[in-house]
Structure 1
Amino acid sequence: MALTRMRALGHLVVVMAMLVITACQAGPGATGDTGAATDGGGGSTGGGAVAEVARDRTLIITPWSDRTGPLTNPENWNIYQSGNQNQRQVGSKTIYEALFYTNLNTGELIPWQAESYEYNEDFTDITVKLRQGVEWADGEPFGCNDVKYTLEMLRDNAPELNYSFIYAEWLQDVECVDDLTAIIHLTKPGPRWFLSNLALGHENHQVMLPAHIWEGQDPKEFANYDLASGAPIGTGAYKLVSSSAQQMVFDRRDDWWGAKVGFEDLPAPERIIMIPVGGDESMAQLLIANDVDSGHPLLPGSFTATTGRNDKIRSWNREGPIWGAPDGCGYNLVFNNAKEPWSNRDVRLAINYAIDRAELSTLGYENANYPIVLPFSAYMSGRWMTPEIQAIVDKYDRNKTDPALVDEHMTAAGYAKDDAGLWAKDGETLKVPLRTPQWLAPLAPVMAAQLSRAGFDAIEMLEPEGSSAWTDDIALGNFDTMFLVHCGSITEPFETLKDLHSKYGPPIGEKCPSIIACTRYSNEEYDALIDEMEAMPGSLDNARYVELTNQAVDIYLNDMPELMLLEELHVVVFNETYWTNWPGDEDPYAAPYPPWEAWNVIVHTIQPAQ
């Protein structure tokens, strides 16, 4: 696999590499010299020239693996507008900061815009103490009014805006005791609510907006983009100076509040540039040429081939075959439980027993990850795989390939093999369309072959590069089966088990509120367990919570509304040619994933190689 990918490098991505190199030399990017001024490279620059910055003082990144092709929304920085991923891909590293981050490797809370938070006794009020001296990029002080505006704005604009469904369900209001003290009043007990949404440093891209700019705007339409006036304005250490589909350029603000008040030194990169990437092969070529420092992960074979041509490239672990850190997620096969035949438990179980998870890892990922059957990430599974849960896992024994059980469950579902050896019912062959986003491409051919051996008419449906149509389709229920990831169980089981609650499964044609919760599974007994768990802290010391967890896991493994496949352990990449002090197994100061909020901590920690 590695040789095939490397042969492709010279043919498939040379154009992409040349475009990037040209952009960095001719646009407002990084060069070998300093001091020269250039134009905006095709993007708006607010009317002024953008000075060049030396390559060894410039951090160059790409979007994450689920966003290939030209950069999207270069002139729309409304980070809460549906479909806008600017915060996830680059805003979190540059413009917008969080109240808190968490080092998910250790559980350490990292206060940033805020200093502390505290719940009341019944977990309905959260008192947040904000840090004194935090300023927006235009010099205005950051305070409680910004918190109040942002959270209540999201509450009042559900479900149209990103994350707004959370605030419509949970937020009563925000009370400003003074400029630096906010009390968040919840509609019901939420012992994990604040951490999950406003302090985790994971895929919780819920940051505060400057009320003095956003008030009076329509938050569903406001583009928040005017470089001449400084927009987008955040509290982060960087400002956007040029933006196009080819590159986004951010320059360090030497008046950043953190340096002024002695909170943190200025980050070392003087400039951050985000450039597009075409996928695994093009990322490998960019790394080999030292034209990028981090971003899109590599497949294991591409990684080992790339390090053979550039020994400055590393991942989280220095040795394989498992190179990556836990991602808080697992690869899964999502069934549309609101649609026949996927609503039939026997069909789901038959497909489960047709697949070989170990082979998926070996052939798809060269053993760089490992099989799982529960949506528990490696961050918490070591603590929560209790003897009781292990006994439930053993009882159902879902992680096995068993042709006899395939036959048993397909027969129970009313199917029989036709003359071609394929499962059929009422004269119609059962087709299993394996819809696959590009970044999950290694899964499709391996599983398709496994299903075919078991008599299923499996169809590989790889999404076109750069396509995001699958995101709308899974949200609306316009799919049969799809490879995706199930994320969330960072500290406790509830964080992913809740995603199977029927409240997240609207009728087909209506959007589910969270893309990782679109199975449209419905089970009243399961819902009742989740409802009770929601109101209590998730702790192994809480006997009732543990009991509810065990019951929910039992229903989950009995029904298999989704198939968890493999632990998601991406080969994250760091280039040490120009930058050092990257996080790794030997220094796990932050989780390494670029689309997570806490990557801002990495920006503030890396140092020039020389």
Structure 2
Amino acid sequence: PAAPAAATTAPAAQATTAGPTAAPAVKPTTAAAPAPTVAATTAAQPAAAAPVKDVPRNRTLVVTPWGQGAEIANPNNYNIYISTTWNHQRESGDKTVYEDLVYTNLNTGEIIPWQAESFKYNDAFTTITVKLRKGVTWSDGEPFTSKDVKFTLEMLRDNAPDLTYSTVYKEWLKGVDTPDELTAVLNLTKPNPRFFEENLARGWENHQVVMPEHIWRGQDPKTFTNFDLAKGWPVGTGAYKLVSSSPQQMVYDRRDDWWGAKTGFKPLPGPERIILIPAASDEATAQLYIGNKADSGNPLQPATFEAATARNKSLQSWHAQGPVWGAPDGCGYVFTFNHTRAPWNNADVRIAISYAIDREQLSTLGYNSANYPIVVPFSAYMKERWLPGKLQEIIDKYDRNKRDLNLVAEHMQAAGYAKDANDLWAKDGETVKVPVRGPQFFGPLAPPLTEQLKSAGFDATSVIEPDSSTAWNEDLTTGKSDTIYFVHCGSISEPLNTLQDLHSKNGPPVGQKCPYIIACTRYSNPEYDKLIDDMTAMVGSPDNPKYMDDAAKALDIYLRDMPEIMLLEELHAVVFNNTYWKGWPSEKDPYVAPYPPWEAWYLIINKLQPTQ
């Protein structure tokens, strides 16, 4: 989901041709894979832990990272705050070492308390009282208390913007009081009726987990590696501990002294061991699934998934039938503009590019029709509750979901452009150069999108950057890019989730990084900012007339100005292998959203049972 999603190294995209994509043959892989009896690699570790025992394959859960690469990055650094290109929390820590205060089943909205038993706002939405669960302990036996919550959140506040996640705490967190060991009171700088859910209870990707004060106090959080296997680091409250780490694999073994089992809160999880192994490409990942060398992890491109299921009938996705295999993940594919550069600061040019795009064809050619068109940054989680009424009326008013070359011409001429001798839009002898640039993970978008823009008169070039590249990420976040294809994520519970990403506070001067990779357009509109500020202070509900009125006005500005172009709903063909494990979530059993980089995937770990 990438939700962000993070500026993560991404899987290689399947090649896209001018016609419908054919299911590819799955090639052999050279990626590392576990043997039937799984022993751990012990190389590249600064301190030796106890010898790693053998665990049979049918008691071992093997997962791949959410993102592709030939090796695991930074195997000796478990600091989740210092890297946006590889984060151990989202790749394996959220399944093993770390737990959340509260999870949410995003399919239903059900709140699932975990380290905490409850949270409650005051009437002004300026304080949040969090009651912690009695008996929660860290993996080294120390009690988990409100002091850990206070230390973690205030550490982030005090180290903004240098640490990942920190900016939101700098803006919103005044401080944390600890009236007793099981009570933490979060004091906010201003009213926010959704602060706890958005940052500490959603169970979504890259949200905040609590760190042990007794380990982190006195450390520089910008340089602390949080890694020493001999000392039992990283320390978490989760049911697993890291026992081996190398570029080839990370191995976590179940802790039979886990607090959840000791207190009777939950039984021990089924897997005795969890292994993270890398795979270098989409096809290499498929080969791991086909050969039962991996149980879940990175999704496959739709055509690759269909080819893999033909060879291994134990593989499933969220939906039992295609072409739409995936569940919503709160994200949509987006073509984003840098508003500090001409001509992207001209709304007519942006609107013209939107009318050059045939979204349905992008899905057909790029994704085997596994995704559907969208024009606003709202995921399917939003549709039934929010779109009927005012918001749908605004969407219908602008009618942006169509390719119309007459409207392309109308808006380009309004921006002062005319066709040159090569039938390209130009002004003062310069054509409109449109880089269709982005990571390989979303590469299927690039060829058809490039061809559509070319045929509409734009000087478009496809630039799919390789797995190892972070150049697109760096340019996007620092304001040095032109146009990037990526995702706009966060559409989970209300319109504000994603509309707030266009607030001008997210657009620092060129050269400085924006706080969130999904919020880097550097669009600026005071009227829009005021609406977002007002919505932020309100309870988001379809039954709140003022909120809905502001949401409609903000959406009207969004579609009028087109600060970005939404393309398709992101619906990944997530993969679950039933050969060794059962109990996977699905459309028929939606007990949790199915995305491995989300913290709530830990709930899957706690439900899986061996098939043998």
For 1:396, the equivalent position in structure 2 comes to 398
- Hey, what's the Cα distance between the residues in 1 that align with 2:404 and 2:88? 45
- Hey, what's the Cα distance between the residues in 2 that align with 1:55 and 1:45? 27
Do the aligned residues in 2 keep the contact of 1:38 with 1:49 (CA within 8 Å)?
A: no
- Hey, what's the Cα distance between the residues in 2 that align with 1:69 and 1:424? 43
Code of the residue aligned with 2:499 in structure 1: it is L
Code of the residue aligned with 1:220 in structure 2: it is K
For 1:569, the equivalent position in structure 2 comes to 571
- Hey, what's the Cα distance between the residues in 1 that align with 2:288 and 2:554? 46
For 2:446, the equivalent position in structure 1 comes to 444
For 1:86, the equivalent position in structure 2 comes to 88
- Hey, what's the Cα distance between the residues in 2 that align with 1:446 and 1:101? 38
1:131 paired residue among 115, 133, 153: 133
For 1:212, the equivalent position in structure 2 comes to 214
Farther-moved stretch of structure 1 (322-331 vs 410-419): 410-419
Residue 432 of structure 1 aligns to a residue whose secondary structure is strand
For 1:268, the equivalent position in structure 2 comes to 270
For 1:458, the equivalent position in structure 2 comes to 460
Structure 2 counterparts to residues 146-545 of structure 1, below 5 A:
146-545=148-547
What whole-Å deviation, never above 9, does each CA across 1:322-374 have from its counterpart, x for those lacking one?
11001111111111111111111111011000000111111111111110111
Do the aligned residues in 2 keep the contact of 1:88 with 1:205 (CA within 8 Å)?
A: no
For 2:29, the equivalent position in structure 1 comes to 14
Structure 1 residues 50 and 607: alpha-carbon distance in aligned structure 2, compared to 1, 3 A threshold:
same
What whole-Å deviation, never above 9, does each CA across 1:23-51 have from its counterpart, x for those lacking one?
x23xxxxx34x8xx766255557243211
Code of the residue aligned with 1:271 in structure 2: it is R
- Hey, what's the Cα distance between the residues in 1 that align with 2:194 and 2:272? 37
Do the aligned residues in 2 keep the contact of 1:297 with 1:572 (CA within 8 Å)?
A: yes
Report the alpha carbon displacement of residue 159 of structure 1 after superposing the two structures with TM: 0.2
Residue 441 of structure 1 aligns to a residue whose secondary structure is helix
Structure 2 counterparts to residues 95-114 of structure 1, below 5 A:
95-114=97-116
Kindly indicate whether structure 1 or structure 2 has the higher relative contact order, using CA contacts under 8 Å at least 6 residues apart: 2
Code of the residue aligned with 1:565 in structure 2: it is L
Farther-moved stretch of structure 1 (388-397 vs 138-147): 388-397
Residue 411 of structure 1 aligns to a residue whose secondary structure is helix
Do the aligned residues in 1 keep the contact of 2:172 with 2:190 (CA within 8 Å)?
A: yes
Code of the residue aligned with 1:564 in structure 2: it is M
Code of the residue aligned with 1:15 in structure 2: it is T
Report the alpha carbon displacement of residue 3 of structure 1 after superposing the two structures with TM: 8.1
Q: Which has the higher helix share?
A: 1
Structure 1 residues 203 and 38: alpha-carbon distance in aligned structure 2, compared to 1, 3 A threshold:
closer
Report the alpha carbon displacement of residue 182 of structure 1 after superposing the two structures with TM: 0.5
Do the aligned residues in 2 keep the contact of 1:279 with 1:296 (CA within 8 Å)?
A: no
- Hey, what's the Cα distance between the residues in 1 that align with 2:173 and 2:40? 47
- Hey, what's the Cα distance between the residues in 1 that align with 2:292 and 2:304? 15
For 1:28, the equivalent position in structure 2 comes to none
Code of the residue aligned with 2:275 in structure 1: it is I
Residue 187 of structure 2 aligns to a residue whose secondary structure is strand
> What is the number of residues matched between the two proteins?
593
Structure 1 residues 45 and 216: alpha-carbon distance in aligned structure 2, compared to 1, 3 A threshold:
closer
- Hey, what's the Cα distance between the residues in 1 that align with 2:498 and 2:228? 39
- Hey, what's the Cα distance between the residues in 2 that align with 1:352 and 1:539? 30
**Normalising by the residue count of structure 1, what TM-score does the alignment of the two structures yield?**
0.95
Report the alpha carbon displacement of residue 410 of structure 1 after superposing the two structures with TM: 0.9
Do the aligned residues in 2 keep the contact of 1:82 with 1:160 (CA within 8 Å)?
A: no
- Hey, what's the Cα distance between the residues in 2 that align with 1:4 and 1:552? 41
Report the alpha carbon displacement of residue 292 of structure 1 after superposing the two structures with TM: 0.5
Q: Are 1:75 and 2:93 an aligned pair?
A: no
Residue 599 of structure 2 aligns to a residue whose secondary structure is coil
Report the alpha carbon displacement of residue 607 of structure 1 after superposing the two structures with TM: 0.7
Code of the residue aligned with 1:6 in structure 2: it is P
- Hey, what's the Cα distance between the residues in 2 that align with 1:240 and 1:542? 47
- Hey, what's the Cα distance between the residues in 2 that align with 1:361 and 1:551? 30
Structure 1 residues 572 and 50: alpha-carbon distance in aligned structure 2, compared to 1, 3 A threshold:
same
**Which consecutive unaligned segments of at least 5 residues does structure 2 have?**
1-15
Structure 1 residues 143 and 333: alpha-carbon distance in aligned structure 2, compared to 1, 3 A threshold:
same
What whole-Å deviation, never above 9, does each CA across 1:499-556 have from its counterpart, x for those lacking one?
0000001111111000100011000100010010010010011110000001001000
Residue 349 of structure 1 aligns to a residue whose secondary structure is helix
Residue 598 of structure 1 aligns to a residue whose secondary structure is helix
**Which consecutive unaligned segments of at least 5 residues does structure 1 have?**
26-30
Report the alpha carbon displacement of residue 204 of structure 1 after superposing the two structures with TM: 4.1
Structure 1 residues 42 and 167: alpha-carbon distance in aligned structure 2, compared to 1, 3 A threshold:
closer
Do the aligned residues in 1 keep the contact of 2:47 with 2:229 (CA within 8 Å)?
A: yes
What whole-Å deviation, never above 9, does each CA across 1:226-265 have from its counterpart, x for those lacking one?
1010011000011111111111110111100000000111
Do the aligned residues in 2 keep the contact of 1:277 with 1:296 (CA within 8 Å)?
A: no
Do the aligned residues in 1 keep the contact of 2:21 with 2:365 (CA within 8 Å)?
A: no
Do the aligned residues in 2 keep the contact of 1:44 with 1:244 (CA within 8 Å)?
A: no
